[in-house]
Structure 1
């Protein structure tokens, strides 16, 4: 039998569909013995029966679902009509009686808080906080019924309708319960977060408190005191000036009043109360199993909890212990791909790299270098590496964490230093030989010989078997890949940043500045990704001669891309050249470290914007001319350096050697990633072939569903050992992936969940400038073109590329860009190196650049000092 009213003691988590998030949480707290003022929930059955008495509500809800969520005028008018209608609707007699009976049972002499509790509210991934209304100090039967009806109507406030529409909730599927809770008349109220809501630290309890009712804090009328507690100790206090308080009136309702001067700056909570609250909060968190946002109040010295809900804004933690303190950095920020990844993509990378070091959180990978940082040498070297390879803020953040007493007091694991030395010693010897002895010109042939051998080995093994054996072969090849690449390619590639730093130091000491160094970076010999960019330019030049092909490319799609070319004049000619490009680079794409991303061979239309953009912004043959010019500029810079230093003697010999190493090894920096993506693509072909077989057998609904499984799970599935319902399992994974996509990953986080940002770069910058890191010299002005996905790019001549990040899949756009601005990156990351090679200014690590800069705005990019100025507010 459906109940219209349930008392808190009758309610728990399973009651969510009937009492909403707020009601279910209060029921849980009551049942668990936490100090919750008594009350009851008017269930969603009551709401449904109430609106069922209205013949107009069906058409109202249909109108809401058909409405454009961005049409605020229509939204406001429709919401107002629904609210007025509901507030005039009579509550059915039987429902009215049940509510009055519950009210009398708790005590009609009390005042009550009447709060809305929606079924899509206070959920782990959607809080809906503040979307519906709350009414305080409600007294008497008639007032209670009136405010319950107001709560029901508040399901259709402008903000509630808009929030649901934008978050994809069907208005017909969200129901409202009303929480009726005995009012406490508190001296002090506040909000307690069991994790720091600002930086995410799960061990820090953060408490806001002020005098009177908590409404003054929630509504922002008063600046509350802020207290922070960690491990049973108060670690921070900020006593605010609390000028006003909201109190209950004896006859019902509330009043705002001024506090006397001596109370305004008084600490609202005693130290003892702060610690008691923190301990209570942690017990509530333990009960719910996740960090909580708790509303509390104190009446006559007794603490009451009036609400608890999950904190939905925290970035998820990796599955590792919080203690002892560990530090992790975002692999996506290093690889210039910060988007969430599907489970298969994550598991493949965690097969390639050590699982203990590469941990997953929020659909991203984080690298845990803690054991290295436990050593003195690691603490000395790694922050410098971060500063030179990534950015200063990254380095500052890392340095700040590793100097904390709780980090320093933990020694490295027994035997770690010895095993690290044993592993690294032969590699360091190889690096030394490459730096000072071997001919750098021979490095390319050695590297590419290994790459060809490795790729052939993987391809032959995967093509020579099927079924579970093929999937196990995929797993085996991935598991040995990192070690092979590290031992065979790392000794060459690492010489590029080492020679860069040594050259920089030598040039500053012997010449006085390092300006020539950036010219040496131009047109590096043998850079496989730069060559890819040049071939895109060749394709664009070919299309210039084939107007029908150009027109075709503007309207084509992936499914008919190749077939359609046969019907266009010049299509076969273009197809032959394009096929050659795909044969060499078809395994690449934006975000290519994620195996689940569609490759260019699978989705060739991704390349069309780059080809057409090149035609618009680069003259015929100009890309090849620029490359030759870059080579000449690099040679001239080399000659000027030698002229300055002298052409004989140890200085000259040393700097000449460094320049040779720098250019030839720099040309190899993209080779390891090229090999990784080649092998990932071979593995993808094998995985998709097995997925198609599982579709034929009816195990999977579609082949792409395999991306929502891990590699281990897929192997279990192929063996028939997967124990769960595959369809519902994959549906849950898809939902989780959608949530992960909404998260913004931190650059650096600790095992306690703290997001450490580091202090921003200091210097004299123009007012309002967006500060980043200078990685490619020069100052230019131009129109900003915001590009979130390269396949959707529309760059014109003289425009500045503003992107969240770039990786080799973005390279085709660099020929067209006048300058580069990205949100993540550092001195040696992809965008920076390619920008220097192409000779365009670049500033990276500009927080929220794609939001702060509007598409079409005129901006100035200063790649010398590392900032961006917005020159006009107008965008075109």
Structure 2
């Protein structure tokens, strides 16, 4: 046969059907939604003759109508050579003769000048290239149809958005307090907005599958957030020759109006109320405390109020499969125990934050004076941007925080579906739904498919992956670890080099933490972790410094570290392996180095 249906292609037939057809077939096997279609094989291309009768029969099975004819070469979609755009695609092909003509044209594009030049450039032999062609049904979906009379050119959306963006940004810069009020009001609306869920699993799944139309009124949040990011990004060029990077980072310390910092300080207040129960909270396993809290058996320390505001958060909170703190507050009890270990009033999180804010305000005044000495106008502009950075940059966490409410609703609906399937005997546990794709879940809901064996295999793989000590920062498409290709950084045996992300200098005992669930940290210890996200930030309030193996200067962890006034060094390869808990280490945020008091083995 010279024509194969896409859903009938076997993984071993890649040379017969080409890269694109093979990949589409793989997606179909995974349960993804792929338009119906068929492939004219490389064998037909090699003979130079379109198998007319087979093509017409396959086209008839599609129901005729408009189709796309796409190249599917054997030298295509390769790990190191995508051939993107090098061979031709024809859209809205209708009718038998047009279809046959498009297939011939698609074949001919294998030998176009650009395809030949690309093969030469990437070292693919011309004689090894074979061409198949994919014919796929064009979807008639109103969601993708242009609106009547819509004749906008490419870029028209940007032209529409630009005035709105400019107005929103200028409005926030002119009245930052009002901008903050709009953000807070929208977050509160999302928190208290009543959400009704249907009673049946099928209806719940319909809601889950629907395209996400956020209930957030984006303009109320996005432009104040963007305004804060813009003014903070403007500071380095504006202060060039006036301030060092460390001094600019100092201005960004103790930053107000950051919802993540407000969360951490709110938890500190819970810890203060929990002081009478200190011994119980320090010596009872967090899982037991969580169970007791959910059962209503613990005294009121303000935790329920805290969870009303922040219970939709967690570590790895953008993963819908991860339980929220409201479902499992064990990590919150772990962090409360860390707070209760603070006995020095000067190390109290609120006091440390106040000190960082005072340093920031003092540095703001000093840099404004320096700018004025250079030039009066520059001084006024610098002062304005520095002040606005203090008034708006803290809002950077608000967008993600607001988006977590939709994720909370999605997770709740999935768990309700899981509970119904568990009751009918199709799942062992309600949260088994997190190990199914949406098409698989649809099959279980509508047809009663029993997928427990599939879930068991995936749970086993997940548990195995959780034991993995390190995860590559980046992989090439062929699986190569990018870091393995980089030259080794020079080291004297006791100095590790990364990227300075928060200014300052701190010496303390290291505490290596790979999981937030076991994150016991003494006041003043240096937190060493693979990575961090907002769920980890309560630990920063008592840590002396931060070292991570991955990250970015503007990511959540380093940003919050700056705002707490603790030094941070990120992107330190193998930090959790080369540093051991209890070692005395020094973190220097200015030089991006971590110094250990004894040589580090490199084997």
Same fold (TM over 0.5): yes
Matched, 1:538 2:275: no
User: How far apart, in 1, do the equivalents of 2:232 and 2:454 lie?
Assistant: 49
Cα distance change on mapping 1:715 and 1:588 into 2, 3 Å: same
User: How far apart, in 1, do the equivalents of 2:487 and 2:350 lie?
Assistant: 37
Q: 1:807 aligns with which of 524, 533, 558?
A: 533
Q: 2:282 touches 2:340 (CA, 8 Å); kept in 1?
A: no
5 Å-filtered alignment, 1:355-394, equals none
Aligned-residue offset at 1:737? 3.1
User: How far apart, in 1, do the equivalents of 2:171 and 2:235 lie?
Assistant: 16
Matched, 1:425 2:162: yes
User: How far apart, in 2, do the equivalents of 1:565 and 1:548 lie?
Assistant: 19
Q: Which residue of structure 1 aligns with residue 208 of structure 2?
A: 474
User: How far apart, in 1, do the equivalents of 2:570 and 2:254 lie?
Assistant: 21
Q: 1:427 touches 1:491 (CA, 8 Å); kept in 2?
A: no
Tell me the SS of whatever aligns to 1:601. Answer: coil
Q: Which residue of structure 2 aligns with residue 663 of structure 1?
A: 390
User: How far apart, in 1, do the equivalents of 2:524 and 2:597 lie?
Assistant: 16
Q: Which residue of structure 2 aligns with residue 790 of structure 1?
A: 516
Matched, 1:624 2:350: yes
Q: Which residue of structure 2 aligns with residue 506 of structure 1?
A: 238
Matched, 1:440 2:163: no
Cα distance change on mapping 1:642 and 1:874 into 2, 3 Å: closer
Q: Which residue of structure 2 aligns with residue 579 of structure 1?
A: 304
Tell me the SS of whatever aligns to 1:600. Answer: coil
Aligned-residue offset at 1:521? 1.4
TM-score, normalised to structure 2's length? 0.68
Aligned-residue offset at 1:325? 6.5
For residues 354-409 of structure 1, give each alpha carbon's deviation from its aligned partner in whole angstroms, at most 9, with x where no partner exists: xxxxxxxxxxxxxxxxxxxxxxxxxxxxxxxxxxxxxxxxxxxxxxxxxx976xxx
Q: 1:777 touches 1:842 (CA, 8 Å); kept in 2?
A: yes
Aligned-residue offset at 1:491? 2.8
Q: Which residue of structure 2 aligns with residue 596 of structure 1?
A: 321
User: How far apart, in 2, do the equivalents of 1:611 and 1:325 lie?
Assistant: 54
Gaps of 5+ in 2: 1-11, 13-75, 85-119, 123-151
Aligned-residue offset at 1:445? 1.4
Q: 1:443 touches 1:664 (CA, 8 Å); kept in 2?
A: no
Cα distance change on mapping 1:425 and 1:740 into 2, 3 Å: farther
Cα distance change on mapping 1:758 and 1:527 into 2, 3 Å: farther
Q: 1:522 touches 1:839 (CA, 8 Å); kept in 2?
A: yes
Aligned-residue offset at 1:679? 2.1
Q: 1:801 touches 1:819 (CA, 8 Å); kept in 2?
A: yes
Matched, 1:687 2:421: no
For residues 827-859 of structure 1, give each alpha carbon's deviation from its aligned partner in whole angstroms, at most 9, with x where no partner exists: 111111111111111000111211111111111
User: How far apart, in 2, do the equivalents of 1:608 and 1:470 lie?
Assistant: 32
User: How far apart, in 2, do the equivalents of 1:765 and 1:552 lie?
Assistant: 41
5 Å-filtered alignment, 1:74-85, equals none
Q: 1:787 touches 1:803 (CA, 8 Å); kept in 2?
A: yes
Q: 1:780 aligns with which of 506, 509, 530?
A: 506
Tell me the SS of whatever aligns to 2:569. Answer: strand
Matched, 1:615 2:340: yes
Aligned-residue offset at 1:528? 0.9
Cα distance change on mapping 1:553 and 1:653 into 2, 3 Å: farther
Aligned-residue offset at 1:590? 1.0
Cα distance change on mapping 1:644 and 1:551 into 2, 3 Å: closer
User: How far apart, in 1, do the equivalents of 2:565 and 2:516 lie?
Assistant: 20
Q: Which residue of structure 2 aligns with residue 835 of structure 1?
A: 561
Q: 1:678 aligns with which of 382, 405, 414?
A: 405
Aligned-residue offset at 1:715? 3.4
Aligned-residue offset at 1:542? 2.3
Tell me the SS of whatever aligns to 1:668. Answer: helix
Matched, 1:324 2:59: no
For residues 261-297 of structure 1, give each alpha carbon's deviation from its aligned partner in whole angstroms, at most 9, with x where no partner exists: xxxxxxxxxxxxxxxxxxxxxxxxxxxxxxxxxxxxx
Aligned-residue offset at 1:642? 1.9
User: How far apart, in 1, do the equivalents of 2:83 and 2:510 lie?
Assistant: 42
Tell me the SS of whatever aligns to 1:783. Answer: strand
Aligned-residue offset at 1:759? 8.3
Cα distance change on mapping 1:738 and 1:764 into 2, 3 Å: closer
Aligned-residue offset at 1:430? 4.7
Q: 1:485 touches 1:672 (CA, 8 Å); kept in 2?
A: no
Q: 1:652 aligns with which of 379, 391, 407?
A: 379
Q: Which residue of structure 2 aligns with residue 450 of structure 1?
A: 186
TM-score, normalised to structure 1's length? 0.48
Matched, 1:463 2:197: yes
- Report the RMSD for the aligned CA atoms in angstroms: 3.6
Cα distance change on mapping 1:836 and 1:559 into 2, 3 Å: closer
User: How far apart, in 2, do the equivalents of 1:770 and 1:602 lie?
Assistant: 39
- Which deviates more from structure 2 when the two are superposed, residues 647-656 or residues 415-424? 415-424
Cα distance change on mapping 1:660 and 1:717 into 2, 3 Å: farther
Q: 2:359 aligns with which of 621, 633, 636?
A: 633
Q: Which residue of structure 2 aligns with residue 522 of structure 1?
A: 253
User: How far apart, in 2, do the equivalents of 1:321 and 1:824 lie?
Assistant: 29
For residues 800-849 of structure 1, give each alpha carbon's deviation from its aligned partner in whole angstroms, at most 9, with x where no partner exists: 10001111111111111000000111111111111111111100011121
Q: Which residue of structure 2 aligns with residue 46 of structure 1?
A: none
Aligned-residue offset at 1:522? 1.9
Matched, 1:856 2:585: no
Tell me the SS of whatever aligns to 2:274. Answer: helix
Q: Which has the larger radius of gyration?
A: 1
User: How far apart, in 1, do the equivalents of 2:380 and 2:487 lie?
Assistant: 36
Cα distance change on mapping 1:488 and 1:787 into 2, 3 Å: same
For residues 510-542 of structure 1, give each alpha carbon's deviation from its aligned partner in whole angstroms, at most 9, with x where no partner exists: x15343312221222211110111122222222
- Which deviates more from structure 2 when the two are superposed, residues 785-794 or residues 613-622? 613-622
Cα distance change on mapping 1:756 and 1:325 into 2, 3 Å: farther
5 Å-filtered alignment, 1:9-408, equals 322=79, 323-324=81-82
Tell me the SS of whatever aligns to 2:594. Answer: strand
User: How far apart, in 2, do the equivalents of 1:762 and 1:513 lie?
Assistant: 29
User: How far apart, in 2, do the equivalents of 1:580 and 1:846 lie?
Assistant: 38
How many residue pairs are counted as aligned between the two chains? 460
Q: 1:765 touches 1:867 (CA, 8 Å); kept in 2?
A: no
User: How far apart, in 1, do the equivalents of 2:240 and 2:403 lie?
Assistant: 36
Q: 2:286 touches 2:330 (CA, 8 Å); kept in 1?
A: no
Cα distance change on mapping 1:321 and 1:688 into 2, 3 Å: farther
User: How far apart, in 2, do the equivalents of 1:676 and 1:663 lie?
Assistant: 24
User: How far apart, in 2, do the equivalents of 1:440 and 1:517 lie?
Assistant: 21
Tell me the SS of whatever aligns to 1:518. Answer: helix
Cα distance change on mapping 1:479 and 1:560 into 2, 3 Å: closer
Tell me the SS of whatever aligns to 2:174. Answer: coil
Q: Greater helix percent: which structure?
A: 2
User: How far apart, in 2, do the equivalents of 1:321 and 1:748 lie?
Assistant: 18
Q: 1:553 touches 1:608 (CA, 8 Å); kept in 2?
A: no
Aligned-residue offset at 1:740? 4.7
